[in-house]
Amino acid sequence: MSDELERKYEVEIQTSEDKQKISKELKAELQDSGMMDEKGKLKLKGVSPKMLKRMKQEYVDCPVLKENTQFIQCFVCPNFQSRVMGKVFCKGDPLK
Collapsing DSSP to helix, strand or coil, 4 comes out as coil
pTM: 0.84
CA 65 to CA 89: how far, in whole Å?
A: 15
pLDDT of residue 3: 56
In tens, the pLDDT along 35-80 reads 999 888 888 888 898 998 899 999 999 999 999 999 999 999 999 9
- Give the number of other CB atoms < 10 A from CB of residue 34: 9
pLDDT of residue 5: 65
Residues in CB range of 94: below 8 A, 6 or more apart: 64
Q: What is the DSSP letter of 91?
A: -
